[in-house]
């Protein structure tokens, strides 16, 4: 059995916020699974995703992503590894406003270890599936509607078929119908990837292979400490 994500004995705390700590004794995500991770606001969901993706580095324990021990990589190597292997959909989409939609989609290419030219056919196929027309791709991100920005963010995450896709509450600003459409679109387009989708909205959980509460992950550590 292979795992896209394996975490053991993770401990993280902010240096000036000693009341907050993230503790996970043992968690694995099987390759190809779609996982819904539920947690209340402030519980550490975004922090956990930042640790997994190598954006946040101050922790003890072991985090392996696609078989790579993240602690063994320099920050530049983490940036390259993330660009090569992980697609991230941020809560606020994090598009650069004065770049075109197409430039935003291709942004991660500059960090890849092998400097390849963008594959036009692959980009066209993704954009067609997401209903991103050629005219829309040429428009600046700041000129797009929220729904259009959302689809650009998904296209950026899916481009080059990353092995792992991480989504950090990307539906929080959407209405119920649009949320449902977004989830279905994401999972349909990410069929060959492992997906970790984080949200506080339990109504979305049924779309995923596995549903898990962050509090339960932390509880397993507490029980282990008490034993």
**How far is residue 181's CA from residue 195's CA, in Å, rounded to a whole number?**
16
Residue-level pLDDT at 221:
47
The dihedral formed by the CA atoms of 9, 214, 172 and 175, expressed in degrees to the nearest 10: 150
| Per-residue pLDDT band at 118 (split at 50, 70, 90) | low
Residue-level pLDDT at 176:
79
Query: Pick the residue with more confidence: 115 or 84?
Result: 84
CATH number, domain containing residue 62? 3.40.50.300
Residue-level pLDDT at 6:
97
Which of 91-105, 141-155, 213-227 shows the lowest mean pLDDT across its residues?
213-227
59-66 mean pLDDT? 96
Contacts of residues 176-182 at CB distance under 8 Å and 24 or more positions apart, as own/partner, are 176/203, 178/147, 179/204, 180/204, 182/150, 182/154
Which of 135-144, 189-198, 214-223 shows the lowest mean pLDDT across its residues?
214-223
Question: Per the structure, how many domains does the chain have?
Answer: 1
Query: Pick the residue with more confidence: 173 or 221?
Result: 173
Three-state SS at 50: helix
Mean confidence (pLDDT) of the chain: 86
Residue-level pLDDT at 111:
65
Residue-level pLDDT at 177:
78
Residue-level pLDDT at 154:
86
Residue-level pLDDT at 113:
58
Query: Pick the residue with more confidence: 96 or 224?
Result: 96
Structural domain for 162, as ranges:
3-226
Cα dist. 71→43, 50, 65 in Å?
Answer: 23, 13, 10
Q: Which residues contact 98 (CB under 8 A, 6 or more apart)?
A: 140, 141, 142
Three-state SS at 106: coil
Query: Is 54's pLDDT higher than 60?
Result: yes
pTM, two decimals, is 0.85
**How far is residue 97's CA from residue 81's CA, in Å, rounded to a whole number?**
25
- pLDDT tens across 136-185, in order? 999 999 999 888 888 898 888 888 789 999 999 888 767 777 788 888 88
Cα dist. 147→58, 143, 177, 182 in Å?
Answer: 35, 12, 12, 9
Three-state SS at 17: strand
């Amino acid at each position: 059995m292979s795992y896209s994500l394996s975490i053991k004995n993770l401990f993280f705390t902010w240096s000036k916020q000693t009341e907050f700590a993230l503790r996970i004794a043992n968690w694995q995500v099987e390759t190809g699974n779609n996982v819904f991770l539920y947690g209340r606001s402030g519980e550490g969901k975004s922090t956990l995703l930042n640790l997994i993706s190598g954006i946040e580095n101050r922790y003890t324990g072991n985090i392996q992503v696609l078989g790579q021990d993240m602690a063994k990589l320099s920050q530049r190597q983490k940036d390259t590894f993330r660009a090569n292997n992980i697609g991230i959909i941020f809560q606020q989409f994090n598009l650069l406003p004065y770049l075109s939609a197409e430039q935003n989609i291709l942004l991660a290419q500059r960090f890849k270890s092998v400097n390849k030219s963008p594959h036009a056919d692959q980009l066209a196929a993704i954009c067609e599936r997401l209903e991103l027309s050629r005219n829309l791709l040429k428009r600046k991100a700041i000129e797009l509607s929220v729904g259009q920005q959302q689809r650009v963010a998904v296209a950026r995450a899916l481009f080059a078929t990353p092995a792992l896709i991480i989504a950090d509450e990307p539906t929080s600003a959407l209405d119920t119908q649009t949320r449902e459409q977004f989830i279905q679109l994401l999972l349909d387009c990410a069929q060959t990837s492992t997906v970790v989708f984080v949200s506080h909205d339990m109504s979305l959980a049924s779309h995923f292979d596995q549903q898990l509460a962050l509090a339960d992950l932390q509880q397993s550590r507490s029980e282990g400490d008490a034993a």
